Structure 1
């Protein structure tokens, strides 16, 4: 019984983290911060945690996309975003495996400043985040070229470390691409699923996955995704609440990754 209790606690932590991450990843992003923290609680090394997290991300993004997709967000219509994102993901995953345990201070600061930029974009023109549209959006010219280049970088970031990539995608698709929130969420889930396929294969090949923990996280993340999809598709003010959640997540991420919380504790 004494040996069983720690195992139950560890799995309970994974289940709760996975469920909440599934909700956050579907309606906004950055839920991987929770799942990676839960794996860290079990003393899983950073490299293994990075790979283990990909199993749940794959399953939950596929489940979420299948529930939110429409005729305007199919694979054929988005090939121009899928290809650069996938290319970037392969490069990013290779780099993550090569480095093993990354320089966490450098990585955290980079994520923090990225989230600060994303917060600035989210706070601009609030009405853009609240609009709804059933019409497919056609992106052309320089905006399309810029999005292609940006999503090579986004894919590389997502292949390297999953945490926060959904937030970055969602902000770029709405603030820069001009998509409405629901469509952007569906595209975000599709691209996150696709960019994680090559990353997942590489992590499996390099034996960088703790399978027992991965399956527990995956199941709970899918359940969280179903709850989130129901909210997004039925709640009349879903876009409003998703934007507020996104701002909250960005603020928490900025405080955490830039070390502001640690600095404040040291001061007082």
Structure 2
């Protein structure tokens, strides 16, 4: 690996860690970078997933203030992410290449629509909860299976996982967007960690790539915390839509 490749992959890890903490879709930077340097697609995907685990943890730590008072919610949804991430990693190993990616554009598009409509949907959900005697702490019934389905997707590939998670959480839980973004970072970390653990055992891993992306993503996670926590709800929503649109275009044009 040349010095240029080392620097490029390291910087891609920083960018991915930052974007993942603020929105999600950092894989759209690291994965193409690895392919450009000749890393085989499956190895690139596997190594990228493992490398982004420290960055996901770093991002969750950066948002620790927004996580206060959400322990029971995080613990409940963490089980969904654990199950989904495990299933997604297994799918990557057993399905033909490209089989699952066929539905990725549709998933991203659905996530973008939900994010755009999130204020209206959340207001409707809040009215229903209030009429029923209060807003459930864990949100509507479909939040748990929605988080699990997002975990399946994240365990398989991961690009725009954050967009989909924010769509599910934002429309199903009556909570401030920044606090939900903090939950998103924890859930994404769990998906990456469980998938990464499976990949370490049964898949081919490029450990130099893991090291470089890991170091970069840790720095990016802290940087993303500084940036993301200062964005107003509208700014965060716009960022989610912009990154999600780029992700959708990348899949359709790629």
Q: Structure 2-normalised TM-score?
A: 0.85
**Are 1:180 and 2:176 an aligned pair?**
yes
Alignment of 1:96-115 (within 5 A): 96-99=92-95, 102-103=97-98, 106-115=99-108
1:108–1:199 distance in 2 versus 1, CA, 3 Å: closer
Any unmatched runs of 5+ in structure 1? 1-5, 130-136, 263-268
Separation (CA, whole Å) in 2 of partners of 1:171 and 1:193: 17
* 2:118 and 2:167 in contact (8 A); partners too: no
2:115 pairs with one of 107, 117, 122: 122
Q: Which residue of structure 2 lines up, in the alignment, with residue 211 of structure 1?
A: 207
**Are 1:9 and 2:33 an aligned pair?**
no
Separation (CA, whole Å) in 2 of partners of 1:139 and 1:12: 47
Q: CA deviation at 1:73?
A: 2.8
Task: Please give the secondary structure, in 2, of the residue aligned with 1:25.
Answer: helix
Q: Which residue of structure 1 lines up, in the alignment, with residue 189 of structure 2?
A: 193
Q: Which moved more, 1:175-184 or 1:41-50?
A: 175-184
**Are 1:246 and 2:240 an aligned pair?**
yes
Q: Which residue of structure 1 lines up, in the alignment, with residue 162 of structure 2?
A: 166
Q: CA deviation at 1:172?
A: 1.3
Q: Which residue of structure 2 lines up, in the alignment, with residue 54 of structure 1?
A: 49
Separation (CA, whole Å) in 2 of partners of 1:125 and 1:83: 24
Separation (CA, whole Å) in 2 of partners of 1:221 and 1:128: 33
* 1:52 and 1:213 in contact (8 A); partners too: yes
**Are 1:255 and 2:249 an aligned pair?**
yes
**Are 1:45 and 2:40 an aligned pair?**
yes
* 2:118 and 2:170 in contact (8 A); partners too: no
Separation (CA, whole Å) in 1 of partners of 2:144 and 2:18: 28
* 1:67 and 1:229 in contact (8 A); partners too: yes
Aligned residues: CA RMSD: 2.4
Q: CA deviation at 1:98?
A: 2.0
Any unmatched runs of 5+ in structure 2? 123-133
Separation (CA, whole Å) in 2 of partners of 1:121 and 1:31: 20
Alignment of 1:88-103 (within 5 A): 88-99=84-95, 102-103=97-98
2:70 pairs with one of 55, 58, 73: 73
Q: Which residue of structure 1 lines up, in the alignment, with residue 218 of structure 2?
A: 222
Quick check: which has more Rg, 1 or 2? Answer: 1
**Are 1:64 and 2:59 an aligned pair?**
yes
